[in-house]
Chain A
């Protein structure tokens, strides 16, 4: 009986995995069609190095766009860092978050959490993954171009200083799918990758976060038309 149980579990796991891969490819294809995503490798190349991509965050579709912009081989090893409260809300979301995108799920509430988010990110990296992180910590709904960064990026950079930190600017997605909307508008989006950063020896938290913030804004200036800069 135990053997049948184990076989059933293995079969379910294999099926879930296959379905997840299929759904993942379908989502990537759909996103390509919808956004006609333009991908600009400005400061770096799409090479198989372990990286943390840190990007601006205006829409729930952000990480799908970034994930779609990566070549398939890199995409297979890249996992988004995402909020557990959002992604575990329903079974469908849990399937998408855990199985399709294999998100590193973190608890945003410091009071209730049992595991340190940076420790979870380090664990994923030690298993060979690259990461996608939105250092603003929440979606930017206001008129500001880029919110202040939370400290997670710094703590990760200190814990894993050898990992490339790649600034990534996502353009136009807030128009494609504003907060609270369900149907996306098929405007052209772009994903731009800048030159990787690392924590400098002796650099303190505030200085590092300011440098990373400035690097992302400088990248945005390079790719956006003047009247889009708000």
Chain B
């Protein structure tokens, strides 16, 4: 996990975060002393969350691959809890829910740690998908059955399966890029987090046409296009972190950004359906784990597969 890129990255990220924090503090003192400016407050909240993400990731990296796997297992647990708190369930689902939290989740991360790609890539989409409804059905209660097992599976796919592809990036075997998987995680997380904010900024200044008017007025096609362009630029600028050529890094940045943005929109629709504003209350007013990581969750498996298909040598 050592190397010049890694220390550059670490110093760079914390320097930028310090600058961002100072900038936000100034903006706050100037525009929002009473917390009245929504834009400034939103930015300050995001920067606070970035500090937490960067600190946790840096600490986990000290523990090597095991540390990162454990960190994402814990994040998955917190996210799955937020998700399944809002889904439909009945008493008959008790053992299916227990299995989701205490069997499927740990086994998935254990498989990722042991680098058994052929099993962890199908464990939840095939085996959990087929066997969890069996646990529910042997307890009876056919009311809303499809909705119950469907929502349970959805929670597992997003909060465990998708999330586990972030630490899985560490075990990709790329020639000339051994044990530098952490840099790929940084590439993914930095681009998704920054472009989510840039989308917001683009929409605020140039946004005209909402992507999903019934869902959110603050997400516009102008914002999405601007953010994807910014993501491509960011990807090209960060190519030195990756095994990609600059043009490929730009393309990757654009794909990650688009997937993250639309993923966040999908998660918003679920929140709206369930009648909540946020997934959780990790910190008052700033939402929960899923609110902060929805884009990363969607982008992670796609990023993983693209790298796996085009850069991993058999």
CA distance A187 to B81 in the complex (A): 5
Residue of chain A at shortest CB distance from B82: A188
Query: Which residue on B lies nearest to A226, using beta carbons?
Result: B275
**Judging by beta carbons under 8 Å apart, are A185 and B276 in contact?**
no
**B275–A185 CB distance below 8 A:** no
Interface size class, chain A: 10 to 19
Do most interface residues of chain A lie in helix, strand or loop, or is the interface mixed? loop
B134 to chain A, nearest CB (A): 18
**Interface check A181, CB cutoff 8 A:** yes
- With a cutoff of 8 Å between Cβ atoms, the chain B residues found around residue A181 in the complex are 94
How far apart are the CA atoms of A179 and B275 in the complex, in Å?
A: 27
Any B CB within 8 A of the CB of A50: no
Closest chain A residue, CB of each to CB of B78: A36
The residues in B between 120 and 157 inclusive whose CB is less than 8 angstroms from any CB of A are none
A36 to B101, CA, bound (A): 15
Instruction: Given A185-B101, A227-B274, A227-B275, decide whether A172 and B85 contact each other with a Cβ distance below 8 A.
Output: yes
By beta carbon, the residue of chain A nearest B275 is A225
Contact of B281 (CB < 8 Å), options: A38, A178, A225, A226 = A38
- In the complex, chain A residues 163-188 whose Cβ is within 8 Å of any chain B Cβ: 172, 175, 178-179, 181, 183, 185-188
Residues on B with C-beta less than 8 A from A38 are: 281
B91 contacts A by Cβ under 8 Å = yes
B98 at interface, CB cutoff 8 A: yes
A227 vs B98: C-alpha distance when bound (angstroms): 23
Known: A175-B89, A188-B280. A225 touches B274 (CB 8 A): yes
Proximity bits, A71-109, B CB within 8 Å = 1, else 0: 000000000000000000000000000000000000000
In the bound complex, how far is the Cα of B78 from the Cα of A186, in angstroms?
A: 9
Q: Give the Cβ gap from A18 to chain B, nearest Cβ, in Å.
A: 32
Sample of 4 more A-B contacts, CB < 8 Å, known A178-B91, A183-B98: A36-B81, A185-B101, A187-B84, A187-B97
Lowest 10 CB-CB distances: which A-B pairs, in order? Answer: A225-B275, A188-B85, A178-B91, A185-B97, A187-B85, A226-B275, A183-B98, A181-B94, A38-B281, A225-B276
